[in-house]
Amino acid sequence: MHASQGVGRLAIIIGQCGAIPSLLGLLQTSESILQKVILKCLRNIVTSGDTNSLTAVTNGGLEIILNMLLNANSGGLKRPLLEILSALSLLREVRRVIFSSGDVCFLIESARCGRMISRTRTAQAIGMMGLVKKSKADTCSFWCGESTHGIDSEWGYFS
């Protein structure tokens, strides 16, 4: 077993044991160095699995991260915040909130910095946002009778 596999398993177990709500609460009341340590811990936990990401979101983690990003000036806190956001953004509901709140700029920033895996996750999330919007527009225009992208609206084939 590789050492990173052990870290991933430990992060999953920590998340399953209910540490995420406690860490989110502590994150809001802490300062400076302790915030950075908690953010790195949360980053490792939420990147280890969808269950932990979902737990973080359902406990207000997305709002906390977005608020901290709005107020973050230093790169010391910003990078782990962006990496957490990249992990959370793989969830559909998170992408909806990010898009509707106008915070897509943080995803774009996340795609430019951080670890390669974080940047890859962010690019995937941004791509999924685009596919959903394009798919909804194409489906609506197809079934509503508007001809777009060379589709014959009456028969539903390419003209």
* Distance, CA of 29 to CA of 8 (rounded, Å): 27
Tell me the per-residue pLDDT of 112-141, one tens digit each, with 9 for 90 and over. Answer: 887 888 888 888 888 888 755 554 454 344
Task: Say if CB 90 and CB 125 are below 8 A apart.
Answer: yes
Residue ranges per domain, the chain? Answer: 3-158
pTM for the predicted model, two decimal places: 0.75
Name which of 149, 135, 89, 79 is nearest 112 in CA terms: 79
What's the pLDDT at 65?
97
Q: Compute the distance between CA of residue 46 and CA of residue 67 in angstroms, rounded to an integer.
A: 18
- Amino acid at site 69: L
Identify which of 57, 55, 60, 52 has the alpha carbon closest to the alpha carbon of residue 25: 60
The CATH class given to the 3-158 domain equals: mainly alpha
Q: Cα 151 from chain centroid?
A: 34
Q: What is the DSSP letter of 146?
A: -
Per-residue tokens: 15: 């998340």
The mean pLDDT of the chain is: 80
At 156, list the tokens.
Answer: 């539903």
The arithmetic mean of pLDDT across residues 4-13, rounded, is 74
